[in-house]
């Protein structure tokens, strides 16, 4: 099935937040944010700004009718700063005016006097000072301290990993207006309508039923709107509530980049021990997560880092710790992969380090350590239907890896100024929210009298095609054409208490809920047909919009069937509820069975580095991916391509730079580079692993949103391998992103970096 939104998108008719027709008298808002990264407000003078014609009101913490608190997991984040300032751009006030232009002019007239404090942006520095956002956590298996004695080889080092701007095409935005009887309706560009509802209710001091949140679709989110949409939605909801006027906000790009959190930068220490035959016997790592100024989703992201810290491998002795460090950056947040990519980068660095020292390619270590059925992940889940080895072996054979290696070797022999690097990147990603209670969803399905169907779920369409998949699920269970089915906007009054559309679970959770509702409806219709036609119930079937009896098509069409059921007062509406079975997790032991299943895959990346300039071009990325049984190959292959390129951008060219005062320096597309058509691989080939499909996935498919992001990590190691071919005695640091500048420096570096020095200290010693 084609994506239902494709024509709307191409013709510009799809409605995003900024396309919603606004009510007469709608006011527009912009945020006045902190001018420093850390400090205390001594005085603010709004009087000049207030006097500007067209300025209606400047809303501050003093206007809050409920609690000044938007922290979702830990309540440590005010909506508006009261006195202390913890990051540059931290919201202090909302300027509401007749238009955004006037509001922006008013912003320049606000006078603020601040006492500045020292700014910390480095997580290790924050850790040294004891600045943690919340308690650290560890996963352990076996006894790592004893296992070192059994190791033939032990290597220790450091991995530094950069953050990433989400760069959704549609920036954060929200539109709120008063309804009857003191209620507020909010349109928000959010992945989590319930999070918006709950946060607004808390800040306004209203019960949740007074707040209605409606979402048509988002122009991208990538995790950046899982939590951080709530603050902006709550600001305009508050303004609408206290002013009794419709109020809208749409962030411009620099404000969005400055004020919102990003993927967490991490710095990690690792220690890996191998036996003589290259089995990884022990692995220990401490990761310093750069959390920013408030907790946001960091506790959950920390958890997924722990879960994925051994990537695809079985390691009998592990000890992994994550510290969430409080720094003066905007609170870092969810971003496709949700902490897993940083954990995976770290172990792949440890493996590459070992491979360097043992003078073998990294894949020789990877391939003999894949976790196998019956073995235990370090969090207690027993591996089942593992496809690591299968995707690895198929990638090697279907893409003829032996020739790839040979061609690269020949190329490198022939060229002194250009070198080719090859890497293999295995992926193993757990599917389910790591917090078990979040794995539930509901779907409200109406069959209208004319036989058409309307579905409401908690899923947010953000370009990933979830609405199309939900239609496919309903069409397959009801056995009717997809043109008979429509997915409605996501609205908290139709489907309540929703989990955000996140963790790659949107299609599985909401698809299963839809399936369950449709199964009930189809059984009711069969019952009704059997009664009307005087058949036995088990003789009746409904196929391709017709009633069948004992496999024979009758003349009774779906529309007649529905009409007659309605006249008999059969209920044509059903609410399906799905809760992922089998999953559980005990946080006191850090053991359990948190994931419904895992997604596997292998990517082969080839890059050619220009050793004069330090530039590089990706020749090819070849992937074998475990889709389960894909229910929509066009959508799913698109997700793999998009995730791959997004992951490659993170690993190669996307570099966040901050001024010493904590202000983001790379706050526009001229200074923050994302992959364009020239940076993407010249060729991307994706092949589906042939499998029976996933038992718990929807229609046996597997979730596809996040796992392929991790293929991008292969880009880092491909460049690193090419650099080593040129600068043969040099061992490049594990510091992502591997920009052209860093590549150039590494090509001509004389002395290998000290593998145990984190980036922050390395930079210090250079200074
Ligand atoms: N969000 C969340 C996520 O709240 N829990 C998760 O486990 C998760 N995983 C990936 C992306 N978002
Ligand atoms: Mo996401 S990082 O699944 O919102």
The Cβ of residue 98 has, within 10 Å, a number of other Cβ atoms equal to 15
Which residue owns the Cα nearest ligand 1 atom 7? 433
Cβ of 334 below 6 Å from ligand 1? yes
- ∠82-88-93 over CA atoms, to 5°? 40
Condensed to tens digits (0 to 9), the pLDDT of residues 49-106 reads 999 999 999 999 999 999 999 999 999 999 999 999 999 999 999 999 999 999 999 9
DSSP 456-494: EESPPPSSS-HHHHHHHHHHHHHT--GGGEEEPPEETTT
What torsion do the CA atoms of 483, 704, 188, 227 make, to the nearest 10 degrees? 160
- For residue 434, give both structure tokens: 């790591």
Which residue owns the Cα nearest ligand 2 atom 4? 223
For ligand 2, the distance from its centroid to the CA atom of residue 721, given in whole angstroms, is 31
- For residue 720, give both structure tokens: 């690193």
Ligand nearest to the CA of 704: 2
For ligand 2, the distance from its centroid to the CA atom of residue 686, given in whole angstroms, is 23
Q: Which residues are catalytic?
A: 706
Ligand nearest to the CA of 297: 1
For ligand 2, the distance from its centroid to the CA atom of residue 706, given in whole angstroms, is 8
**Contact between 499 and 439 (Cβ < 8 Å):** yes
For ligand 1, mutation pick of 297, 341, 498, 595 (most atoms within 8 Å of CB): 297
- In ligand 2, the atom with minimum distance to the C-alpha of 335 is 2
- In ligand 1, the atom with minimum distance to the C-alpha of 433 is 7
Cβ of 502 below 6 Å from ligand 1? yes
- Predicted local confidence at residue 764, as pLDDT: 53
DSSP 526-540: HHHHHHHHT--GGGE
Cβ of 300 below 6 Å from ligand 1? yes
CA–CA distance, 18 with 623 (Å, rounded to integer): 37
The Cβ of residue 510 has, within 10 Å, a number of other Cβ atoms equal to 33
Condensed to tens digits (0 to 9), the pLDDT of residues 669-681 reads 999 999 999 999 9
- For residue 174, give both structure tokens: 């929200």
Q: How far is CA 1 from CA 481, 530, 750, in A?
A: 11, 32, 56
For ligand 2, the distance from its centroid to the CA atom of residue 335, given in whole angstroms, is 5
Which residue owns the Cα nearest ligand 1 atom 3? 503
For ligand 2, mutation pick of 172, 229, 334 (most atoms within 8 Å of CB): 334
CA–CA distance, 351 with 339 (Å, rounded to integer): 19
Cβ of 350 below 6 Å from ligand 1? no
- Give bridge partners of residue 431 from the DSSP assignment: 597
Stretches where the chain sits below pLDDT 70 are 752-755, 762-767
Cβ of 340 below 6 Å from ligand 1? no
For ligand 2, the distance from its centroid to the CA atom of residue 193, given in whole angstroms, is 14
Ligand nearest to the CA of 504: 2
For ligand 2, the distance from its centroid to the CA atom of residue 620, given in whole angstroms, is 27
**Eight-state DSSP code of residue 500:** P
- In ligand 2, the atom with minimum distance to the C-alpha of 226 is 4
CA–CA distance, 429 with 320 (Å, rounded to integer): 17
For ligand 2, the distance from its centroid to the CA atom of residue 352, given in whole angstroms, is 28
- In ligand 2, the atom with minimum distance to the C-alpha of 338 is 2
Pocket of ligand 2 (CB under 6 A): 191, 223, 226, 334-336, 338, 502-503, 706
Reference 608, options 616, 620, 596, 597; nearest CA is 616
Ligand nearest to the CA of 304: 1
CA–CA distance, 117 with 452 (Å, rounded to integer): 62
- For residue 759, give both structure tokens: 């980036």
- ∠659-249-669 over CA atoms, to 5°? 40
Bridge-based pairing of strands 485-487 and 453-457 is parallel
Q: What is the pTM of this model?
A: 0.97
Bridge-based pairing of strands 211-215 and 490-491 is antiparallel
For ligand 1, mutation pick of 263, 304, 594 (most atoms within 8 Å of CB): 304
Cβ of 434 below 6 Å from ligand 1? yes
The Cβ of residue 682 has, within 10 Å, a number of other Cβ atoms equal to 12
- Predicted local confidence at residue 759, as pLDDT: 77
**Eight-state DSSP code of residue 245:** S
**Contact between 570 and 524 (Cβ < 8 Å):** yes
Q: How far is CA 178 from CA 22, 186, 220, 652, in A?
A: 13, 9, 27, 46
The Cβ of residue 679 has, within 10 Å, a number of other Cβ atoms equal to 16
For ligand 1, mutation pick of 334, 435, 500 (most atoms within 8 Å of CB): 334
From the centroid of its chain, how far is CA 324? Answer: 18
Reference 55, options 33, 28, 25, 32; nearest CA is 28
CA–CA distance, 388 with 587 (Å, rounded to integer): 27
For ligand 2, the distance from its centroid to the CA atom of residue 438, given in whole angstroms, is 13
- ∠603-166-494 over CA atoms, to 5°? 105
Cβ of 585 below 6 Å from ligand 1? no
Question: 């009101």: which residue's tokens?
Answer: 57
For ligand 2, the distance from its centroid to the CA atom of residue 532, given in whole angstroms, is 48
Which residue owns the Cα nearest ligand 1 atom 11? 503
């Amino acid at each position: 099935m084609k994506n239902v939104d494709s024509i709307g998108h191409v013709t510009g008719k799809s409605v995003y937040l900024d396309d919603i027709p606004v009510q007469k008298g709608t006011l527009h808002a912009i945020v006045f944010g902190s001018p420093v990264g850390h400090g205390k407000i001594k005085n603010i003078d709004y009087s000049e700004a207030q006097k500007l014609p067209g300025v209606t009101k400047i809303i501050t913490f003093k206007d809050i009718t409920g609690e000044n608190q938007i922290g979702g997991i830990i309540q440590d984040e005010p909506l508006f700063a009261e006195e202390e300032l913890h990051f540059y751009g931290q919201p202090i006030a909302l300027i509401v005016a007749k238009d955004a232009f006037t509001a922006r002019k008013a912003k320049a007239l606000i006078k603020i006097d601040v006492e500045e404090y020292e700014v910390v942006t480095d997580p290790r520095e924050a850790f040294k000072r004891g600045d943690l956002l919340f308690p650290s956590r560890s996963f352990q298996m076996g006894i790592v301290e004893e296992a070192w004695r059994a190791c033939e080889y032990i290597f220790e080092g450091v991995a530094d990993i950069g953050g990433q701007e989400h760069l959704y095409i549609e920036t954060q935005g929200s539109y709120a207006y008063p309804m009857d009887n003191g209620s507020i309706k909010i349109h928000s560009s959010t992945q989590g309508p319930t999070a918006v509802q709950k946060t607004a209710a808390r800040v306004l001091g209203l019960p949740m039923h007074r707040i209605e949140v409606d979402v048509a679709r988002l122009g991208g989110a990538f995790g950046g709107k899982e939590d951080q949409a709530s603050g902006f939605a709550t600001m305009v909801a508050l303004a609408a509530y206290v002013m009794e006027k419709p109020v809208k906000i749409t962030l411009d790009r620099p404000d969005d980049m400055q004020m919102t959190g990003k993927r967490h930068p991490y710095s990690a220490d690792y220690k890996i021990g191998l036996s003589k035959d290259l089995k990884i016997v022990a692995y220990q790592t401490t990761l310093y997560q750069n959390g920013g100024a408030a907790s946001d989703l960091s506790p959950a992201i920390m958890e997924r880092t722990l879960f994925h810290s051994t990537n695809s491998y079985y390691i009998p002795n592990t000890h992994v710790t994550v510290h969430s460090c409080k720094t003066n950056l905007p609170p870092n947040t969810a971003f496709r992969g949700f902490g897993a990519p940083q954990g995976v980068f770290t172990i792949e660095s440890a493996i590459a380090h070992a491979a360097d020292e043992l003078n073998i390619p990294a894949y020789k270590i990877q391939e003999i350590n894949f976790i196998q059925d019956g073995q235990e992940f370090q969090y207690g889940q027993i591996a089942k239907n593992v496809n690591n080895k299968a995707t690895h072996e198929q990638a090697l054979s279907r893409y003829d890896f032996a020739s790839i290696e040979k061609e690269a070797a020949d190329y490198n022999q022939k060229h002194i100024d250009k070198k080719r690097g090859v890497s293999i990147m295995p992926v193993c990603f757990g599917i389910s929210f790591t917090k078990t209670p979040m794995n539930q969803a509901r779907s409200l399905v109406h069959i209208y009298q004319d036989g058409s169907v309307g579905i409401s779920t908690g899923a947010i369409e953000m370009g990933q095609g979830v609405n199309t998949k939900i239609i496919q699920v309903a069409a397959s269970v009801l056995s009717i054409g997809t043109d008979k089915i429509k997915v409605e906007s996501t609205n908290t009054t139709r489907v309540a208490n929703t989990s955000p559309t996140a963790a790659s679970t949107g299609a599985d959770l909401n698809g299963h809920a839809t399936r369950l509702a449709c199964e009930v409806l189809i059984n009711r219709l069969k019952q009704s047909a059997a009664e009307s036609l005087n058949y036995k119930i088990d003789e009746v079937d409904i196929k391709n919009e017709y009633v069948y009896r004992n496999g024979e098509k009758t003349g009774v069409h779906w529309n007649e069937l529905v009409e007659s059921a309605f006249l008999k007062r059969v209920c044509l509406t059903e609410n399906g509820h799905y809760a992922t079975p089998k999953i559980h997790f005990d946080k006191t032991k850090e053991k359990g069975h948190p994931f419904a299943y895992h997604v596997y895959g292998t990517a082969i990346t080839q890059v050619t580095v220009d050793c004069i300039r330090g530039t590089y071009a990706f020749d090819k990325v070849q992937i074998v991916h475990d889709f389960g049984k894909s229910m929509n190959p066009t959508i799913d292959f698109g997700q793999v391509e998009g995730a791959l390129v997004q992951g490659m951008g993170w690993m190669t060219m996307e570099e966040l730079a901050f001024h010493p005062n904590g202000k983001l320096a790379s706050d526009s597309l001229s200074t923050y580079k994302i992959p364009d058509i020239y940076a993407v691989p010249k060729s991307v080939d994706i092949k589906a692993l042939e499998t029976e499909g996933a038992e718990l996935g929807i229609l046996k498919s597997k979730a596809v949103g996040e796992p392929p992001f991790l293929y991008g990590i292969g880009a880092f190691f491909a460049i690193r391998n090419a650099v080593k071919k040129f600068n043969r005695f040099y061992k490049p640091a594990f510091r992502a992103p591997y920009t052209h500048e860093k590549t150039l420096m590494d090509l001509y570096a004389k002395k290998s970096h000290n593998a145990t020095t984190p980036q922050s200290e390395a930079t210090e010693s250079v200074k």
